[in-house]
Amino acid sequence: MKRFVVLASGAVLSWASASPVLAQSTVTLYGVLDNGFVYQSSSGNNSAIRAVPGGLFATRYGFKGVEDIGGGVHVNFQLEQAFSGQTGAATNPADAFNRLAYVGLSGGFGEVRFGLQNTPQYDILQAAMDPSWVKSIASPMNNFNGLIIRANNGISYYTPTFDGLNAKFMVALRDSSTTGSGNGIGFYNALVQYINGPLNVAAGYERGDEPGVGAGGSYTLAGGGAAGPGAVFNVFNAGASYAIGANRIWLAYHTENLTNTPKYEQHDVYQISDSYQFGPAALLSLMYGYLHDRTGKGNNAQQLGLLFEYSLSKSTELYTAAGFIQNRNQANYTLSGTAYSGLTITPGTDTRGIGVGLVHKF
């Protein structure tokens, strides 16, 4: 990965001499560009071929920095903005940095962060759930699940790792822009993770009041639809994977409950996946997921997904993602990319799609 690095010191210069360096910091410019096209169709004679941004990774740029202040303690910050690689337009032009804007401290005690940041479930847990890290049209977890991706006014703590075990906690405070009370906690998330050699296991729980409105309006529901004032969103995720040579097997479970809203959701998702590394450049992943509707309405669904990734270099990747969803009764789940929405589906109809994209990281 190519990086632009700026070095700064706290040295004070004079004509005769310079004082010792008080601190040193680095600032890195980074980014991801993901563009491609996708073809989707459904049993309701709805089909389209589209140019899309963010089929596998959200296109974005950002800055991150670290300052060593001594004693093993570092000051960290990160600023990140999403945009369309197809048009160049910011995802949210009203925000200078709509994905990340936090500052924090790290050391032997772990790490604390303050500000707009990803939730631990989104940042960490998804890597334990399937080979795509719950991305692209190939991932059932991406297409079936809701998740609070990030929140304003966040306060998080990441513990150190002890014999492969660590934990992460986050709360988000309400502010004056919140509908209703501007006081108290609007969101919290906790997870534990264990990594030991080829084994990766993680589980986490999150709860958000008034998703899409609370905590400064920063909640984003991935796949769960829109929620209005008074809604309560509860999610539990668990994932595990184990590597055997070039092969890795994945198991994942998701359950969510979205209440007090016209789009009432209450379902479980079970997924099994397998990925195989064909040499250093090629990775093939197969994913199957089943969604069980717990409302008693029988709005169940299942998906089969396939993802092929080929590394052209350390910074550039070519990928193909494909998926097929079978909806039942009034279920209308669709194939969505990481940064774009799928076709609108007639309830109870099947949908299929395939996409190709090129990713460059810098």
Residue 69 lies in a domain: no
* pLDDT of amino acid 128: 93
Q: What is the domain count for the chain?
A: 1
Residue 244 lies in a domain: yes
Distance of alpha carbon 67 from the chain centroid: 26
Measured CA to CA in angstroms, residue 85 lies from 35, 91, 262 at distances of 6, 10, 34
- Which of 289, 325, 283, 323 lies closest to 306 in space, CA to CA? 323
Residue 187 lies in a domain: yes
Domain of residue 198, CATH code: 2.40.160.10
Which amino acid appears at position 267 of this protein?
H
* pLDDT of amino acid 261: 59
Residue 327 lies in a domain: yes
- State the chain's maximal CA–CA distance in angstroms: 82
Digit-by-digit pLDDT tens for the chain (362 residues) are 333 222 233 332 233 333 344 567 899 999 999 999 999 999 877 899 999 999 999 999 999 999 999 999 999 999 999 999 999 999 888 889 999 999 999 999 999 999 999 999 998 899 999 999 999 999 999 999 988 899 889 999 999 999 999 999 999 998 766 555 567 888 999 999 999 999 999 999 999 886 543 444 444 454 445 555 567 889 999 999 999 999 999 999 999 998 765 556 799 999 999 999 999 999 999 999 999 999 999 999 999 999 999 999 999 999 999 999 999 999 999 999 999 999 999 999 999 999 999 999 99
Measured CA to CA in angstroms, residue 162 lies from 16, 232, 358 at distances of 49, 34, 38
240-247, long-range: CB < 8 A, 24+ apart: 240/128, 240/199, 240/200, 240/201, 240/202, 241/128, 241/199, 241/200, 242/198, 242/199, 242/200, 243/198, 244/198, 246/276, 246/277, 246/278, 247/274, 247/275, 247/276, 247/277
- Which of 314, 345, 312 lies closest to 331 in space, CA to CA? 345
20-24, long-range: CB < 8 A, 24+ apart: 23/67, 23/68, 23/69, 23/70, 24/67, 24/68
Alpha-carbon torsion (208, 212, 214, 216), positive or negative = positive
Taking the C-alpha atoms of residue 321 and residue 355, their distance in angstroms, rounded to an integer, is 5
Is residue 256 a contact partner of residue 235, using CB atoms and an 8 Å limit? yes
Residue 78 lies in a domain: no
Is residue 17 a contact partner of residue 328, using CB atoms and an 8 Å limit? no
Upper half-sphere CA count for residue 41 (Cβ side, 13 Å): 3
Question: In sequence order, what DSSP letters do the residues of 72-89 get, joined into one string?
Answer: TEEEEEEEEEEB-TTT--
Residue 4 lies in a domain: no
Measured CA to CA in angstroms, residue 175 lies from 1, 2, 149, 209, 221 at distances of 38, 38, 19, 13, 20
Token pair 């905590």: residue: 215
Domain extent for 223: 34-58+119-361
- Which of 153, 231, 169 lies closest to 204 in space, CA to CA? 169
Residue 19 lies in a domain: no
Is residue 356 a contact partner of residue 320, using CB atoms and an 8 Å limit? yes
Alpha-carbon torsion (165, 235, 302, 41), positive or negative = negative
Residue 134 lies in a domain: yes
